[in-house]
A and B are shown apart, each in its own frame.
Chain A
Amino acid sequence: MSSTTITDDIISKVAKLARVQLTEEEIHTFTSQLSPVMEHIDSLNSLNTDAVEPTFQVTNLKNVFREDVILDSLSQKDAIAPAHKSEQGYVVMPKTIDK
């Protein structure tokens, strides 16, 4: 299977999915820069992998469990300290729901 040709529309749509605002100029630049990258990546299809299992973890580590115990953690004050806007111990964010 070969990839779809990268177009401005695709870059624009993917950027929206990824929540990254791009300027028109950035869209054009990325389209021209990423087309050859995706074409290069198509060489993966030169290898038949029908009988191969995928690898997601390289050292064969299985699930790691631990007891659910309460340990020391950051105080509320420290946790929100780097936020640019906070109020009464909470991070202030833009309005999400209109009534």
Chain B
Amino acid sequence: MELNNLTITKIRQGLLDKKFTAVEVATNYLDRINKLDQEVRAFITVTPEIALEQAKLVDKKISEGKDIGRLAGSTVAVKDIFLTKGIQSTSGSRVLEGYIPQYSSTVFEKVMSEDAILIGKVNCDPFAFGVSTENSGYFSTHNPWDLSRIPGGSSGGSAAAVAATFSTFALGSDTGGSIRQPAAMCGVSGIKVTYGRTSRYGVTSMASSFDTMGSLSSTVEDLALITETMAGIDPHDATSSSESVPAYSQLLDKVSLKGLKIGLPKEYFSEALNPEIKQKVMEAAQLYQKHGATLVDISLPSTSLGIDVYYILVPSEISANMSRYDGLRFGPSVRESKDLISYYMENRGQFMEPEVKRRIIIGTYALSSGYYDAYYLKASKVRTVIKQEFQDVFQKVDVILAPVCPSTAWPLGQKVNDPLQMYLEDVFTVCINVAGLPSLAVPCGFDGQNLPLGYQLIGNYFTEDRLFSIGHQYQQLTDFHLQKPKLNNIK
């Protein structure tokens, strides 16, 4: 039995049926990482001792006839911006090289309390600033489908780890597309939840009014189960929602495709979209139609302004969050400085990656005296308009279907010196974060170069249950999500 191709439910059932042990599952993934990650480079830190120790505990529970958690025996690769107590958490930046946190993020603890097994910490753009994982202070991660290409970002390590079957699932964060975009580019499923659905506590802050914590896995069914364990109010995060958490995994057949109104926003199918992606995404829409859904042409007129709103508000919040970093209480340090101001400047100047500096500078500029009204306030007003356009559309349709990104994975290095081109890649994902809505990325085919691509289902606030149900039914009719890259040929 191939232990690295099982869903969470099948792993748990296999353990209960004594078909295999949690130690065997963990060992299988660890062997694969050992053999293949030198080419993919998804992991900053692999945690074999912890994984095996946790796996033994799960096996012990089973042998003693005790209850096991909902994620028992499944491995999790955790984006390095999530703090993990006692385990280096770099956030993908040299700023936090060697940082060993004294506490863990809430969502990580919740996942672990369901008997998941930590397999390692995965690469990302520094503090999640990027769309290709090339901004990482450590190394670039390679797309398992074509090692010469990016995996997407910023949760590139998370997506690559799932695609390469180095882990059952992964945790990621989505501030402007950072789960959905790498999920689409690596051919895996990913969920960006409603703002506030999951706690942000213990995850390095990027843009506090945008950040959401989610997961990536092979199937939507897995995501439903993981989200069920991750979501919910947290006293440590005042912005987490008190909205009750449905048993998503029990509601996968909840939505009937018959009569379902699916909106296709014309702005997301513009000439900016690669024609091959357009065709595959339309085929997905047509499959829903064939099973009874109605496709409705809709318009979200301010979509193109999403990027501009995003690249004012997010860097502004970044500059405020990053201003809290003093390089004194944790993080590496420059040798000597003549005074405190010099220390701040030199320390931050030395260790922050170029993209970190760029975003701090954009944000500080936008918030500086005389520009607040023109930038931050203006962008916050356009944010209202974008949010309202979605609300108007949800009067007419149940869900929106759109491509995740305008192109498939591009070659490593191609856009690194052109930040504007990188920023524009977010065009189809940022508006969802600007509005704070949930969105599920689902793989729906391959382009002519066998690179994966996907569509996203965007729902109204707190309708993750509907998105999972609609996405899951698609995966019952297709097998794109089951296809895996052929990594075994790597020498």
* Residues of chain A at the chain B interface (Cβ within 8 Å): 1, 3, 10-11, 14-22, 26, 29-30, 33-34, 36-38, 40-47, 49, 52-59, 61, 64, 66, 74, 78-85, 91, 93-96
Contacts and interface: CB of A to CB of B under 8 A. Distances in A.
Contacts of A55: 380-381, 383-384, 387
Contact of B340 (A11, A16, A93): A93
17 contacts: A19-B345, A22-B349, A33-B419, A34-B362, A37-B423, A40-B311, A41-B311, A43-B305, A45-B378, A47-B382, A54-B384, A55-B380, A61-B196, A80-B329, A82-B100, A83-B329, A91-B328
Interface of B: 99-103, 194-196, 209, 235, 238-239, 241, 302, 304-305, 307-309, 311-312, 319, 323, 328-333, 337-346, 348-350, 352, 354, 357-358, 360-362, 364-365, 368, 371, 373-375, 377-385, 387, 417-420, 423, 435-436, 461
Contacts of A57: 209, 239
A93 B337 CA distance: 10
B102 A82 contact: yes
Nearest to A85: B333
Looking at chain B's contact residues, the main secondary structure is helix
A14 B382 CA distance: 25
A20 B332 CA distance: 15
B235 A96 contact: no
B436 A66 contact: no
Given A21-B346, A66-B235, 10 more contacts: A17-B368, A19-B341, A20-B352, A20-B357, A30-B358, A42-B308, A54-B380, A78-B102, A84-B333, A95-B340
A1 B103 contact: no
A56 B280 CA distance: 36
Contacts of A38: 362, 365
B99 A82 contact: yes
A58 B361 contact: no
B328 A19 contact: no
A59 B102 contact: no
A94 B343 contact: yes
Nearest to A10: B365
Looking at chain A's contact residues, the main secondary structure is loop
B328 to A, nearest CB: 5
A41 B420 contact: no
Contacts of A74: 102-103
B349 A20 contact: yes
B102 A79 contact: yes
Contacts of B352: 20
B357 A82 contact: no
A88 B358 CA distance: 38
A96 B350 CA distance: 21
A30 B315 CA distance: 15
B190 to A, nearest CB: 20
Contacts of B387: 55, 58
A19 B344 contact: yes
Contact of B361 (A1, A11, A44): A11
A55 B390 CA distance: 14
Nearest to B436: A58
Contact of B319 (A18, A22, A84): A18
Contacts of A10: 365
